[in-house]
C-alpha cells in the first residue's frame, strides 16, 4: 500500500483526501517510479473544480498530479531504456496521471532521465510547463532568430520557461508582469517588460510574430493588436478550437460546443490576418530528453517559488489557486520541503 491524495468529488476548492491505496503494478511497457517530488499546475485545480470534465472525464475517486521526479524501482517486460535506480522525470499522459502519491506506473514513452544538474525538486517543476513551451515554440510556431514574441504572465510557471527558451532560439521577447516581478523576468532574458497594472501592452507593442497567451479572453483579443499580418496567436488557456476537438476525438456535440466557444476569437483573428490556435500539451518523453539537455547546458533553469511537504499538499494547492506564485510550486516527498 502507498499514500496518495484522492479527489472524491468534483467541486471548486475541493480538499483532497490523504489515504492509503494499492501500489500500482506496471504493465509490460510501463515503469514503476518512486516519486521524490511532484509539482502543481493550474490544470490540477481546473480538473478538481470540474472545469475539464467534458475534455478529461476522470471519474472520482481519482488521484491527481501531472509532474514527477523520482527513482525507477521496477520495469515492465517490454521496457528497454530504463532500469531500477535510474533518476527520471515525467508528465504522465492524460488518463494515467496520479503523481500526488508515493509511487506511479508511467508509460516508458512519457519518461526521460532527470537532468543531472537538477535536484529532484527542480526537475519535478519542469515536465508539464516545459513540454507546453517546447510544443508551442519549437513544434507549433517554429520560432526563429530575429522574430518577436510576446509572452503573457512572464513570471508564471509557463512564462519563466518560455522566456528562456525563446531567447535561446534568438527571438526578441516582450512579457507582461507586475512591477514586483520585473527584475525576475529580465534576469531570465526578457527584452521588453510591461507592467500590466499600469501599461496597456496592446498600445505599446506592434509587428510581433507570435503571442503566447495564458490569460483571459480580454487579453487574448487585445493580443491581436500587437501581431503582424500572418502572425500567430497561441493560447494555452482557451478557448479550444475545432482542430483540438478533432485531435482529441471528441463527440459531435462537444465538437459543436468548442466550435461555438472559439468562434469569436477565430473570426477576429481571421479579420486581422492572424492564425489562432489552442494548444493542450501532450506527454512526450523524447521532448523531455531534449529539455534535459538544455538544462544541463545551462540554457534554461527552473524557477521554483515554494516547496511544500507532502503532508501539506492541500495548502500547496491553495497557494497555486491564489495566483501569487513566481514560477512553480513543488511538493517534496522527502524531508527537504519547507512550508
Query: In this structure, are 103 and 194 located in the same domain?
Result: no
pLDDT of residue 2: 97
- Any idea what the CATH number is for the domain that residue 236 is in? 3.40.50.720
Q: 146 and 102: one domain?
A: no
State yes or no: pLDDT of 337 exceeds 70. Answer: no
pLDDT band, residue 339 (cuts 50/70/90): very low
9 shares its domain with 96: yes
The answer on 24 and 139 residing in a single domain is: no
Residue 276 has pLDDT above 60, yes or no: yes
Q: What is the pLDDT of residues 48-62, one digit of tens each?
A: 999 988 888 899 999
Average pLDDT over residues 26-47: 97
Shared domain for 121 and 133, answered yes or no, is no
**Domain presence at residue 90:** yes
Average pLDDT, the chain: 96
* pLDDT (tens digit per residue) in 132-153: 999 999 999 999 999 999 999 9
Q: Are residues 195 and 111 in the same domain?
A: no
Whether 294 is covered by a domain: the verdict is no
The reply to whether 196 falls in a domain is yes
Query: Are both 63 and 104 inside the same structural domain?
Result: yes
Asked if residue 295 belongs to a domain, the reply is: no
Q: What's the predicted TM-score (pTM) here?
A: 0.96
Domain span holding position 159: 129-278
Q: Cβ-count burial of 241 within 10 angstroms (0-12 exposed, 13-18 middle, 19+ buried)?
A: buried
Query: In this predicted structure, which of 46-55, 75-84, 130-139, 298-307 has the lowest mean pLDDT?
Result: 46-55
| Structure confidence at residue 97 (pLDDT) | 98
- Give the full edge-to-edge strand order of the sheet including 17-21: 17-21, 2-7, 62-63
**Dist CA 110 CA 143 (whole Å):** 24
Residue 308, in any domain of the structure: yes
State the pLDDT at residue 336: 52
Name the percent of the chain lying above pLDDT 70. Answer: 99
Q: Are residues 30 and 156 in the same domain?
A: no
Pair 30, 140 in one domain: no
Both 85 and 49 in one domain: the answer is: yes
Asked whether residue 312 falls in the same domain as residue 274, the answer is no
Mark whether 215 and 315 lie in a shared domain. no
Q: Which residues contact 177 (CB under 8 A, 6 or more apart)?
A: 153, 154, 155, 159, 184, 185, 193, 194, 195, 196
Domain with 324 in it: what CATH number?
A: 3.90.180.10
What is the mean pLDDT of the segment spanning 308-328? 95
pLDDT value at 200 more than 50 = yes
Distances (CA, A) of 137 to 122, 210, 288: 22, 9, 14
Number of domains in the chain: 2
Residue 290, in any domain of the structure:
no
List the grid coordinates of 221.
483579443
8 A C-beta contact, residue 16 and residue 5: yes
Amino acid at each position: 500500500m502507498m499514500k496518495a491524495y484522492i479527489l472524491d468529488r468534483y467541486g471548486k476548492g475541493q480538499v483532497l483526501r490523504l489515504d492509503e491505496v494499492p501500489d500500482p503494478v506496471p504493465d509490460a511497457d510501463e515503469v514503476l517510479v518512486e516519486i521524490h517530488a511532484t509539482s502543481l499546475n493550474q490544470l490540477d485545480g481546473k480538473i478538481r473544480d470540474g472545469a475539464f470534465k467534458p475534455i478529461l472525464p476522470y471519474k472520482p475517486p481519482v488521484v491527481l498530479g501531472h509532474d514527477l521526479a523520482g527513482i525507477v524501482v521496477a520495469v515492465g517486460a517490454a521496457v528497454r531504456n530504463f532500469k531500477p535506480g535510474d533518476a527520471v522525470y515525467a508528465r504522465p499522459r492524460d488518463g494515467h496521471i496520479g503523481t500526488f502519491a508515493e509511487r506511479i506506473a508511467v508509460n516508458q514513452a512519457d519518461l526521460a532521465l532527470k537532468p543531472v544538474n537538477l535536484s529532484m525538486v527542480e526537475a519535478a517543476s519542469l515536465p508539464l510547463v516545459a513540454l507546453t513551451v517546447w510544443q508551442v515554440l519549437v513544434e507549433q510556431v517554429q520560432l526563429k532568430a530575429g522574430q518577436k514574441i510576446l509572452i503573457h504572465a512572464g513570471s508564471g510557471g509557463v512564462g519563466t520557461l518560455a522566456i528562456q527558451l525563446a531567447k535561446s532560439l534568438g527571438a526578441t521577447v516582450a512579457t507582461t508582469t507586475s512591477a514586483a516581478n520585473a527584475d525576475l523576468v529580465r534576469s531570465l532574458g526578457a527584452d521588453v517588460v510591461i507592467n500590466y497594472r499600469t501599461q496597456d501592452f496592446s498600445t505599446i507593442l506592434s509587428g510581433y510574430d507570435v503571442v503566447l497567451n495564458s490569460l483571459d479572453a480580454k487579453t487574448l483579443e487585445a493580443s491581436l493588436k500587437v501581431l503582424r499580418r500572418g502572425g500567430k496567436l497561441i493560447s494555452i488557456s482557451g478557448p479550444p478550437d475545432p482542430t483540438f476537438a478533432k485531435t482529441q476525438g471528441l463527440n459531435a456535440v462537444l465538437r459543436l460546443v468548442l466550435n461555438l466557444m472559439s468562434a469569436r476569437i477565430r473570426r477576429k483573428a481571421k479579420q486581422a490576418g492572424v492564425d489562432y490556435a489552442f494548444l493542450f500539451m501532450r506527454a512526450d518523453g523524447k521532448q523531455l530528453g531534449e529539455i534535459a539537455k538544455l538544462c544541463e547546458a545551462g540554457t534554461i533553469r527552473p524557477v521554483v517559488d515554494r516547496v511544500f511537504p507532502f503532508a501539506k499538499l492541500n495548502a500547496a494547492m491553495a497557494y497555486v489557486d491564489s495566483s501569487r506564485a513566481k514560477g512553480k510550486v513543488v511538493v517534496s516527498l522527502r524531508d527537504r520541503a519547507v512550508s
